[in-house]
Structure 1
Amino acid sequence: MADNYSFKNISLQKGKIAIVTGANVGLGKETCSFFLEKKIKVIMACRNPEKAEKAKEELQKRHSDGEIEIMEIDLADLDSVSSFTRSFHLKYDRLDFLINNAGVMFPPYQTTVQGFELQFGVNYLAHFKLTSLLYDLLSKTEGSRVVTLSSLAHAWGDIYFDDLNFLRGYDKRKAYSQSKLACLMFAYELQRRIDKKGNLSPSSLAAHPGISSTNLGRHLPGFVQSVFNTIGPVVFNSSRQGAEPIVRAALDPNGKGGEYYGPSGLKEYSGKPVKVDSNDISKDKFKANRLWDVSEQLTNTSFKP
């Protein structure tokens, strides 16, 4: 069947509201730019207000009539996640798009405020809690969508239930893979639970950017960054291209809950946004249920879609 998706053909979405985490750089900033082009009001959910303000100024230059608001959130602190959602509820009575984008990759071993390994805590657990605390608004907003960012790295590992925080030896590559696999499993499981209840909103989808030129690789060794910076612009997606699967997952009128979007090219490294598949572990319903239960316990959250 022909793929007729075109961002240009998507109608204006005036009156709709999107939250984008990690909106001040890379994929997050470009996702905001796409949304502003379609007249969606953007909430830039960012940790650093100064950096967010600079990004907002840049976005405002591109989209002079765009509606942009900065709201502070530190995904390495679940109390900050709770505070963010309380503030959002006081200002807004709808939420059309929640883009769980922010992430860290390959940092030295660090923990969040609550003691979770940083990649698992920021990339996954914080977004699990954020989605749960905003679910009431999502569920009453017709046609709303949650888009959770995964990665090609989801296929590198597993969910290490016996040592989620890598206390018995830190492998940053495995830890990153676990966090992105968890994100993908969460996106699928959320849709299964929505379907089981027979709800029409929200829809839960996932996306990955392929290999994209963003600052996410700032913790890579210097020589790797040098090689990447040399060949990256030729071989891989720009930040704007990397954001296209996210935007399609959010805005494609033919998109459906449970779908996963990524680039169309060789090994999904780059290319136009299309529906893609994922590995068997990501679709393991038993593991997904177990991960959900553990996530509720770790985040002190009761999430019942």
Structure 2
Amino acid sequence: MTKHQSWGADRIPDQRGRVCVVTGANSGLGLETTRALVRAGGHVVLAVRDEAKGCEAAERVGGSTEVRRLDLADLDSVRAFAGRLREEHTRVDVLVNNAGVFAPPRTLSAQGYELQLAANHLGHFALTGLLLDLLAEGRDPRVVTVSSLNHRQGRLDFEDLHGERRYSPMGHYNRSKLANAVFGWQLHRRLAAAGSPVRSLLAHPGYAATNIQTSAPTGLLKFLFGRLLIPLAQGAERGALPQLYAATAEEARSGQFIGPGGIGELRGAPGAVEFAPRALDEEAGRRLWTESERLTGVRYGLPAAAV
């Protein structure tokens, strides 16, 4: 693990002239990421499911922002968001795939997919693909996909990807976070093979106190993550540092996974951390990529990296 003990939001390079898209930007890690990028001079597109809450967040942040509706669990909304962004911007410099759904009862997305896989992975997969040419026009362009420590407990069951036979709220959350990690790594490999200037990085916040835990719909999970374990958590401002480092630090490299450098990666200054071995499995990566293109209808046109 490489630690960056002195790195904080005050170390973010000048972001003036850069266009940044942050999903889930109205609260938690997304809001803190937006705030830090705006303070550094960036223009941030707050991609949010609730526009009213997004406008409230933009008012609190100040600076150069715009608010656009994006429901990642609805691929029609993803396409509409990407289409409007393309009309209004000629490039995107940073895409932070931050938004997430946490451990609901089994629910289906607008297209009939399991909600956590749809919102946490498939929506971001589609969004990234639809914006990839705009990113390629950016200055030091980066895609940062936010995963979780829980990706290490995830399993990709391609025979029951949507939990039709067996569903566990936490099990499928872990699956979606593993899918994030697999996607970010595969995107790095494919972009490198294509000679693209776009970097793909992963980040996780450790254990951060945000409303994603306290809004858990099931009583036991809400008590566990929203009350019992809160004293162990760091605040959202600190939790956002890994994704900010991945999005802005000059020394951040494509393919890196950035997380807190403290014990158990629960808290601390951002640093490079290890992937779970299954996140780097090439066969699983190719299979998830193919299935994600099929389910979303978004095809990247990037070559599969050689093993």
1:35 to 37, 43, 61: 37
The answer on whether the counterparts of 2:29 and 2:240 sit within 8 Å (CA) in structure 1 is yes
The amino acid of 1:208's aligned partner reads H
Q: By how many angstroms is 1:224 displaced?
A: 5.2
Q: By how many angstroms is 1:56 displaced?
A: 1.4
Q: Following the alignment from structure 2 to structure 1, what is the Cα–Cα distance between the partners of residues 106 and 274?
A: 31
Q: Following the alignment from structure 2 to structure 1, what is the Cα–Cα distance between the partners of residues 13 and 276?
A: 34
The answer on whether the counterparts of 1:21 and 1:101 sit within 8 Å (CA) in structure 2 is yes
1:250 to 247, 251, 265: 247
2:178 to 178, 181, 185: 181
Q: Following the alignment from structure 2 to structure 1, what is the Cα–Cα distance between the partners of residues 71 and 162?
A: 19
The answer on whether the counterparts of 1:110 and 1:118 sit within 8 Å (CA) in structure 2 is yes
The answer on whether the counterparts of 2:47 and 2:67 sit within 8 Å (CA) in structure 1 is yes
Q: Following the alignment from structure 1 to structure 2, what is the Cα–Cα distance between the partners of residues 264 and 73?
A: 32
Q: Following the alignment from structure 1 to structure 2, what is the Cα–Cα distance between the partners of residues 169 and 227?
A: 23
2:151 to 150, 154, 158: 154
Q: Following the alignment from structure 2 to structure 1, what is the Cα–Cα distance between the partners of residues 3 and 50?
A: 43
1:262 matched to 2:264? The reply is: no
SS state at 1:163 partner = coil
User: 2:272: which partner in 1?
Assistant: 275
Greater relative contact order (CA < 8 Å, ≥ 6 in sequence)? 2
Change (3 A) 1:37 1:276: same
The amino acid of 2:31's aligned partner reads K
5+ residue gaps, structure 2: 303-307
- Cα deviation per residue 1:116-162 (whole Å; 9 max; x = unaligned)? 00000000000000000000011121310000010011011211100
Q: Following the alignment from structure 1 to structure 2, what is the Cα–Cα distance between the partners of residues 220 and 282?
A: 28
The normalised TM-score by structure 2 is 0.93
Identity percentage of aligned residues: 37
* Runs of 4+ more than 6 Å apart: none
The answer on whether the counterparts of 2:202 and 2:258 sit within 8 Å (CA) in structure 1 is yes
1:291 matched to 2:288? The reply is: yes
Please report the RMSD computed on the Cα atoms of aligned residues, expressed in angstroms.
1.6
Change (3 A) 1:276 1:165: same
User: 1:63: which partner in 2?
Assistant: none
Q: Following the alignment from structure 1 to structure 2, what is the Cα–Cα distance between the partners of residues 299 and 83?
A: 14
5+ residue gaps, structure 1: 61-65
User: 1:302: which partner in 2?
Assistant: 299
Change (3 A) 1:70 1:207: same
Q: By how many angstroms is 1:8 displaced?
A: 2.3
User: 2:305: which partner in 1?
Assistant: none
